[in-house]
Amino acid sequence: MPGTEKSTLNLIRFDNLPVLPYDKSVVTIGNFDGVHRGHQFIINEIVQKSFSNEMPSIVITFFPNPADFFGWTQEPYYLTTPEEKTSLIKALGVSEVITFQFDREFAGLSPEDFLQALKEKLGLQLLIVGNDFALGKNRVGTIPVIEQIGREIGFSVEAQNPVELGGGEISSTRIRQALDEGDMRSAMEMLGRPYSVRGLVTSGSDRGSRIGLPTANLDHWPRKNCLPSGCMPPGRSSMVKPIGGSRMLVSGRLLSNRRSLTLKRISWILMVTSMGST
């Protein structure tokens, strides 16, 4: 995967899905871009059910996002890199995270074939998803269809209501919109953590340091949603400014310790908490 760090992501083709040593498992499926509070609720549900039923918990996701694969959106798009997403999901205590390679073959799978493979290879016993979940080509695998397949091959389904905030459902789309508008507080509240951009500090013209405003060029994954130009966290003389491609400029007191920026391979995380009042 392109980016500023060596990729640790293990993409699995559907036909290469290994057989895991589980007789029964609790599973959820989804994009989980951003791993926001709505995602966290469902993932926490499978973790709790796995403990109470003494079964492993498995999160199934995929990359790229279907909207990205089919060209329905423009870059930058993602709230998390695939590696960040996997790390955030694992931190919630799940047993396994499986990331399928999303391609035309995967997109063309029928719900029956997909779920049969999960039953045979992962021991699918309980599937927990959002109540608007659907899978398979043209999203024909709605909750009622999945429930019928479950009755036929032996697993149960739980559909969870969405998590709401501010009168609306928390979604990756809402978070992207908040970021585009510079509403960092809303993004943070929906994510359950500050939004962050990770990258390598690279050399620039050094003009800022000569006028008392230290700056750094941050080389980040260009497909991740960056911060709006001129975003300034409250109480800090710092600024974030996209400067083209996969690079953005970070300046101000946030970078006052220039010694920490002398090595070009430093990976640095910028976390912006909110716009406006603290």
What CATH number is given to the structural domain containing 48?
3.40.50.620
Structure tokens at 271: 């976390």
**Residue 189 falls within a domain, yes or no?**
no
Distance between CA 195 and CA 120 in Å, rounded? 38
Pair 137, 257 in one domain: no
149 and 243 co-located in one domain: no
Q: What integer pLDDT is reported at residue 3 of this predicted model?
A: 45
Asked whether the predicted pLDDT for residue 62 surpasses 90, the reply is yes
Q: Give, rounded to a whole angstrom, the gap between the first and last alpha carbons of the chain.
A: 36
Give the residues across from 201 on adjacent strands.
218
- Token pair 């969870």 in the structure block, residue: 160
Higher pLDDT, 217 or 46: 46
| Judgement on whether residues 205 and 263 belong to the same structural domain of the protein | yes
Query: Is 131:159 a contact under the CB 8 Å cutoff?
Result: yes
Cis peptide before 144 (omega within 30 of 0): no
Question: CB 146: neighbour CB atoms within 10 A?
Answer: 24
Q: Are residues 78 and 128 in the same domain?
A: yes
Give the closest residue to 44 by CA, choosing from 253, 249, 32. Answer: 32
At residue 119, the 3 state secondary structure works out as helix
Q: Are residues 141 and 264 in the same domain?
A: no
Full residue range of the structural domain in which residue 246 is found: 195-272
Asked whether the predicted pLDDT for residue 72 surpasses 60, the reply is: yes
pTM: 0.80
Q: What angle (nearest 5°) sits at the alpha carbon of residue 68, between those of residues 119 and 112?
A: 20
Coil, strand, or helix at residue 140?
Answer: coil
Q: Is the pLDDT of residue 251 over 50?
A: no
176 domain-assigned = no
Total number of domains in the chain: 2
Q: 31 in a domain, yes or no?
A: yes
Mean pLDDT for the chain overall? 79
Residues 224 and 137 in one domain: no
Average pLDDT for residues 81-110, to the nearest whole number?
95
> Is 146 in a helix, a strand, or coil?
helix
Higher pLDDT, 37 or 246: 37
Q: Is residue 154 domain-shared with residue 19, that is, in the same domain?
A: yes
**Residues 44 and 94 placed together within one structural domain of the fold:** yes
Query: Do 144 and 212 fall within a single domain?
Result: no
* 201 and 158 fall within a common domain: no
**Within this chain, do residues 205 and 126 fall inside the same structural domain, yes or no?**
no
Q: State the average pLDDT over residues 224-238.
A: 49
16-49 pLDDT per residue, tens: 999 999 999 999 999 999 999 999 999 999 999 9
- Ramachandran quadrant class, 136 (left: phi over 0; alpha: psi -120 to 50; beta: rest): left
Decide if 16 is inside a domain. Answer: yes
Is residue 127 in a domain? yes
Measured CA to CA, the distance from residue 94 to residue 92 in angstroms comes to: 6
Residues 144 and 201 reside in one and the same domain = no
Of 271, 250, 274, 77, the C-alpha closest to 183 is 274
In a domain, 72, yes or no: yes
Token representation of residue 200: 């390598």
Number of residues assigned to the chain: 278
Paired strand residues for 231: 240
- Judge whether residue 191 has pLDDT over 60: yes
Kindly indicate the confidence band of residue 75, based on its pLDDT and cuts at 50, 70 and 90.
Answer: low
- Identify which of 219, 203, 204 has the alpha carbon closest to the alpha carbon of residue 270: 219
Mean of the pLDDT values across residues 122-129? 98
Mean per-residue pLDDT for 220-241? 52
Does any domain span residue 185?
Answer: no
Assess if residue 214 is contained within a domain.
yes
Q: What stretch of H or E contains 61?
A: strand 57-63
Cβ atoms of 20 and 106 within 8 Å: the answer is no
User: What phi and psi, each to the nearest 5 degrees, are found at residue 199?
Assistant: -170, 180
